[in-house]
Amino acid sequence: MSEPPAHDVNAQADAGPDPATARTMLVMATIGFAICFWAWALLSPLAVTLREELGLSSLEQSLVVATPVLVGSLGRIPVGALTDRFGARVMFPAVALLTILPVLVLGFFGDNLPVLLVAGFFLGIGGTSFAVGVPFVNAWHPPARRGAALGLFGMGTGGTAIAAFTTLQLSNALGRPAPFVLVAVLLAAYAVAAWFLLRVPPGRAATGTRPNWLASALRTLAQPVALKLAVLYAIAFGGFVAFSVYLPTYLVNNFGMEKGDGALRMAGFVVVSVIARPVGGWLCDRYSKTLVLAGLLVATGLFALLAALVGAGTTVIVGDNHYPVALEPVGTVAFLGMAAGLGAGAGAVFALVAALVEPARVGAVTGVVGAAGGLGGFVPPLLMGAIYGAYGSYTVGLLLLAVVAIAGGLFTLVGFRKELARQA
């Protein structure tokens, strides 16, 4: 009797994950996530330019960059459940292909507010790729390595940094459509590659017979552990998303920085956060997951407090000497510290997801948790824009982040005792 072909997923159903194949799947998932996130973040580096060209108000500018975040967040709920049903080999190409049209519309026709909002709405599809990759990577790795693997996958958020480094430069050098055309081509190429190269994890063949996404999502929303994880991810990843899209605006408005410099600073923020994300997962594989996450959130809150002091122009008086708490170097340390804490914290949250949620439900839970994370990034830019419009200062917004992050850290210490006790 002949051996089944290598691509026959049913022949692998009862086999354990092959380490070499698992690494390949992790790389493929991370590349797809990065490209989709690159598309998702295309509007942020252009926000200040669009405000000047179109005469947008501070709130309208915030709405332009926040709309893709909202859709990419809520869309993770159905996409996560659909991934549990159909698998990443179907969903990754689908998400990539559906993102192409809004990317091209923004590149060639994004010269007025209605088009920016409508196309930005559909651009949010790219942000749902997170809910495709997490259950896929989770299923390809054993429990002891899932924290680190999911952290490495999370480095795909570096697509935001790529957008920050390249969008303005390509737009200025080759014309406004250039970065959008490049990303559209990459999305198409990835969709084809994913269809032919991705494999179904052993024992996780997607039969298409599982309950519909709405029923799955509603059951997930009824699970207390999913809601607790969602709150924490709203703080960690939400904070990352908020500052990755709004930091250039903050630096330009609050410190008079040049637009290009603001975009590069934002890129540095994203790079630090991306590098820190697998560190959070790695720490959770080795130490108490709740203690690691709690420490990271409290540290983030303290750095946010320091950033608030910088933004307020605080001066420390020691004797007869006055020391201004300036952007250089104190503000740089504060924002990079926030970046590291938020990135590692996001990795730690999904280490908890991998530990507390059965593999067959990871997609649905990821959808809910990921949606909360994205929503956590949707609200702060709007809030910061409204606060700045009303008071000409961002200090209150940074103080709110400090309070919420520290409260999240304290909640982490006590919020999962029942779930962890059941596993003991």
Is the per-residue pLDDT at 228 higher than 50?
yes
Mean pLDDT of the region 345-359: 84
pLDDT for 193: 96
How does residue 206 score in pLDDT terms, banded at 50, 70 and 90? very low
- Confidence (pTM): 0.73
**Max Cα distance, the chain (Å):** 90
How does residue 367 score in pLDDT terms, banded at 50, 70 and 90? confident
Is the per-residue pLDDT at 7 higher than 60?
no
Q: How many CA atoms lie within 13 A of 102 on its CB side?
A: 27
Handedness of CA 350, 353, 359, 361 (dihedral sign): negative
319: left (phi over 0), alpha (psi -120 to 50) or beta: left
CB 29 within 8 A of CB 134: no
Count CB neighbours of 231 within 10 A: 19
Task: State the Cα–Cα distance between residues 188 and 169, nearest whole angstrom.
Answer: 23
Mean pLDDT of the region 338-348: 92
Q: Provide the CATH topology of domain 14-423.
A: Growth Hormone; Chain: A; (1.20.1250)
Count CB neighbours of 374 within 10 A: 29
- Quick one: angle between helices 362-391 and 395-415, nearest 10? 150
Mean pLDDT of the region 394-402: 83
Task: State the Cα–Cα distance between residues 156 and 131, nearest whole angstrom.
Answer: 12
